[in-house]
Amino acid sequence: MHNKPWALILGASSGFGGAAAVELAKHGYNIFGVHLDRQITMPNVVQIIKKIEKLGQHAVFFNINAADPIKREEVLDEIQERFDADKEHPKIKVLIHSLAFGALKPYFGKTAQDVISQAQMTMTLDVMAHSLVYWTQELVFKNLLAEGGRIFALTSAGSQTVIPSYGAVSAAKAALESHIRQISVELGFMKVTANAIMAGVTDTPALKKIPGSDKMLESAKAKNPGGRLTLPEDVAKAIALLCEDSASWISGNVIGVDGGEYIVNYTGEKISKGFYK
């Protein structure tokens, strides 16, 4: 394995996770990817793996439910076995949490079937927030996380604003940001940094599942000072930048990667549309 660093990406088959896998491979990282895909979307996974390998890096992907504790243990045991067999004794230098699987339902409606249930709320928080803690804990317990490592979690402006049917996911994103702050402090002794990345509105498979996503895309493009939507590659490049040694003192933050989109309100769209033209 030639002493190349390894990244573990949760949600590596599309969107931000997929783009980060390829971008980090460009920077010399081998990739462990965790994803949950059915046969219809597996070609996307194959393409990402091919891109990584074409760049000369190793790609080891696991098609599992990342929130399942038994599956998590199996993946980490396999990673440990691979590392133990390597005379270079590598470790995980980068952990990225980019899991996007949650219930998109309102809190209130005419019947119980119309609204989010306790089970759906619990599942959403567990997958999209708490799983970050559990994966990080196991990496530390098993001595798989490198000193000076980097931890990233993908959040969104929805952690601070209201979007129809997004309540449970919004709560998960807010919790995710809180977890990042706690991790950054508790793992500071290892010189590990932890940051949440707040991407701008991006046309991803996860976004398309949100009711009214077409209007979100239209509004984001209209108000973004750059005149376009955020791309997964924009976010991936920012993550790669924060993996540099020179970024070792940046930790515990929510970092916007959106071209200035978040700071522009509805009235400010007029500025973005023509003030500087």
**Top-confidence residue, 41 or 2:** 41
The pLDDT confidence band at residue 143, using thresholds 50, 70 and 90, is: very high
What radius of gyration, in Å, describes the C-alpha atoms of the chain?
Answer: 19
Residue-level pLDDT at 276: 44
* Cβ-contact 160, 105 below 8 angstroms: no
Task: Return the percent helix, strand and coil in the chain, to nearest 5.
Answer: 50, 15, 35
Q: Is 225 exposed, middle or buried (0-12, 13-18, 19+ CB in 10 A)?
A: middle
Tell me the torsion sign for CA atoms 89, 36, 21, 57. Answer: positive
What mean pLDDT, rounded, does the chain reach? Answer: 93
* Cβ-contact 170, 159 below 8 angstroms: yes
Residue-level pLDDT at 35: 97
* Cβ-contact 101, 125 below 8 angstroms: no
d(CA 135, CA 120): 21
Residue-level pLDDT at 243: 99
What's the N-to-C CA distance of the chain in angstroms?
51
* Cβ-contact 202, 232 below 8 angstroms: yes
**Top-confidence residue, 270 or 236:** 236
pTM listed for this prediction: 0.93
The pLDDT confidence band at residue 274, using thresholds 50, 70 and 90, is: low
Neighbours of 205 (CB within 10 A): 13
User: So where are the chain's domains?
Assistant: 6-213+232-259
Mean pLDDT of 270-275: 51
CA distances for 189 relative to 136, 147, 156, 261, angstroms: 15, 9, 28, 35
d(CA 47, CA 44): 5
pLDDT tens figures, 82-135: 999 988 889 999 999 999 998 999 999 999 999 999 999 999 999 999 999 999
User: Between vectors from CA 196 to CA 63 and to CA 50, what angle results, nearest 5°?
Assistant: 35
Identity at 176, one-letter amino acid code: L
The pLDDT confidence band at residue 2, using thresholds 50, 70 and 90, is: low
d(CA 13, CA 31): 12
Mean pLDDT of 257-273: 73
Residue with tokens 């931890």: 151
CATH of 6-213+232-259, one of 3.40.50.1000, 2.60.40.10, 3.40.50.720, 3.40.30.10: 3.40.50.720
Residue-level pLDDT at 269: 54
Neighbours of 100 (CB within 10 A): 20
Mean pLDDT of 138-167: 95
Residue with tokens 């119980």: 112
